[in-house]
Amino acid sequence: MKDVNVSKVLFSQEEIIKRVKELGDKITADYDGQIILIGILKGSVIFLSDLSRYIKRDVRFSFMEVSTYGDGSVSQNVLNIKKDLDIDISGADVLIVEDIVDTGFTLSELKKELLKRNPKSLKICTAFNKPSRRTVPIDVDYIGFDIPDEFIVGYGLDYAQKYRNLPYLGVVEGV
Ligand code: IMP
Ligand code: MG
């Protein structure tokens, strides 16, 4: 495989943090009681940790790990729950925190699964969104940035498990 390199910065650390704070303010205004943030491992970890600190509400964390991507590039048509929640979400205000919505498949399947558990409300917040790639319609309640159809890394997103810790959002060459 060809070596991959980050060829371009789409959003700097400063731009991302400014936008994440705006999302936190909006979420703070939209809710009143407790919010359960469900982080989708591993990509949402950086976003969730930043976002949660800008939400001025009683926030709880829980995590799920799901897979729909086999080799880091091709969507498969099955949602596999690799790690499930450790809490009961029935009657709770739940906000799914995701790194990126691409085809929409992962979130639409996950939403169906979580709705079966009877939360009081279920919304979705994503750091990044690739609208041009959508194949499954899905309502996303909070979006950090819309991005073009390019393979991105950093701010939690990986290519073959690398680059998650880049503080900015970059485009990878050679994918
Ligand atoms: P979906 O196609 O909306 O189901 O997206 C599934 C998952 O693909 C996302 O949660 C990411 O983990 C991964 N993904 C999609 N696009 C990118 C990208 O540009 N960079 C890194 N991961 C991506
Ligand atoms: Mg993901």
- Could you report the per-residue pLDDT of 145-161, keeping only the tens digit for each? 999 999 999 999 999 99
Mean pLDDT of 19-38: 98
Mean pLDDT of 11-36: 98
Q: Is 59 in the pocket of ligand 1 (CB under 6 A)?
A: no
Report which of residues 3 and 112 the model is more confident about. 112
Which atom of ligand 1 is found nearest the CA of 136? 3
Q: Is 99 in the pocket of ligand 1 (CB under 6 A)?
A: yes
Q: Encode burial over 67-93: b for 16+ CB neighbours within 10 A, e otherwise.
A: ebeeeeeeeeeebeeeeeeeeebeebb
Number of the ligand closest to the Cα of 151: 1
Nearest to 128 by CA among 106, 97, 105: 97
Mean pLDDT of 55-67: 97
Task: Show the beta-strand stretches assigned E in 91-164.
Answer: 93-101, 121-129, 142-146, 152-153
- pLDDT above 70: residue 41: yes
pLDDT tens-digit series, residues 69-103: 544 444 556 789 999 999 999 999 999 999 999 99
Enumerate residues with CB within 5 Å of ligand 2 (an ion).
Answer: 43, 99
Please tell me the pTM assigned to this model: 0.93
The residues annotated as belonging to the active site are: 102
- 60: exposed, middle or buried (C-beta count within 10 Å: 0-12, 13-18, 19+)? middle
pLDDT score of 6: 85
Q: Is 102 in the pocket of ligand 1 (CB under 6 A)?
A: yes
Query: How far, in Å, is the centroid of ligand 2 from the Cα of 125?
Result: 12
44-53, 69-78, 95-104, 107-116: which range is least confident on average?
A: 69-78
Residue type, 108: S
Report which of residues 154 and 4 the model is more confident about. 154
What percentage of residues in the chain have a pLDDT greater than 90? 83
Pocket test for ligand 1, best of 76, 113, 129, 157 (most atoms within 8 A of CB): 157
- pLDDT above 90: residue 174: no
The DSSP letter of residue 157 is B
Q: Measuring from atom 12 of ligand 1, which residue has the nearest CA?
A: 43
